[in-house]
Amino acid sequence: MPHQYPSLSTEQKKELSDIAQRIVAPGKGILAADESTGSMDKRMAQINTENTEENRRFYRQILFSADDRVKPCIGGVIFFHETLYQKTDAGVPFSKFIKDKGVVVGIKVDKGVVPLAGTNGETTTQGLDGLYERCAQYKKDGADFAKWRCVLKITSTTPSRLAIIENANVLARYASICQMHGIVPIVEPEILPDGDHDLKRSQYVTEKVLAAVYKALSDHHVYLEGTLLKPNMVTAGQACTKKYTAQEIAMATVTALRRTVPPAVPGVTFLSGGQSEEDASINLNAINQCPLPKPWKLTFSYGRALQASTLSAWAGKPGNLQAAQAAFTERAKINGLASTGSYVQSGQKDKAASQSLFTASYVY
């Protein structure tokens, strides 16, 4: 029987738990604005805008400076390293600007995926080297939570046992390091939507992956009340010919979570996984309306599904600032409602919001 060595004090546990609860307060979710410079290059190319540091700063300022109607909907914002040290036009650091609005500041800390030798194209995530020191610095610089993304894929031969266990252990080691510095870790084991697998296969794999993740978190003595989970919704593969209803997706998703995620976890903040803005909202709403008991907050941590309409409305033109912020505010409000199961579709078809955001083998 292993001996128990307390890793966190009562005060540290309370700080972590309080931060996690603030992020997923009722009606609130997360804006994932942590796209790397390479990912921003693709975003800017869509609107024929040069990917300069200033353009990236200005675009994120559009998101962060949206009016107070966003306040009840956004509990946390995930920054990329560059963004954490940028400032508003008025010279206020983005981290302070966000905190002054009552929003929790987060930071992406992984260094991207690398091949896992001896597998069928599977990956693990790098970035553990130096993470202890980086977390200490990020905490000083205003970050109270962090994100680390691992990626698995569904084929006839994957995910392999090696990929599941390796990625689970990497996530657990990351989570442990974060908590030592008072940073709430968002644990993100993303199962990509690529492929033609059906809903049943997606649910099975999701359950196996999440079970391994929570076993690893236990092995690494991670304090679950001071964590958040960022999983994929259980959806069929993009190439699956059978189409499932939002209610079927919701039932599969909540069932998978109930079988694997301890009630001690405060919140589940879903990634959008290439769904259109509207589909991501509709499915989140259905998940919250699912009749099964749900002991965690079920909300959003969206990047593309909160920003696609905003980016399109901005189009790289300063004169479109208000239109872009209006588009962002609308999506934030919709997802805030969906996170409580109270979103009712207007019936009007929004072309930008209905457009699929799927990218094969998506990388940040």
Q: Which sequence positions are flagged as catalytic?
A: 188, 230
Q: Report helix, strand or coil for 149.
A: strand
**Beta bridge partners of residue 146, listed in sequence order:** 107, 185
Cis peptide upstream of residue 189 (ω within 30 degrees of 0): no
Nearest C-alpha neighbor of 187 from the set 239, 216, 136, 227 = 227
Which two tokens mark 263? 């009630």
> Using CA atoms in the order 302, 58, 35, 30, what is the torsion angle rounded to 10 degrees?
-30
Q: What letter represents residue 96's amino acid?
A: K
Question: Distance from CA of residue 22 to its chain's centroid?
Answer: 16
Q: Cα dist. 2→138, 155, 173, 174 in Å? A: 32, 37, 18, 21
Which two tokens mark 31? 């804006």
> Using CA atoms in the order 47, 49, 51, 55, what is the torsion angle rounded to 10 degrees?
-100
**Beta bridge partners of residue 299, listed in sequence order:** 269
CA–CA dist 269, 29 (Å, integer): 7
Backbone phi and psi for residue 326, each to the nearest 5 degrees, phi listed first = -65, -40
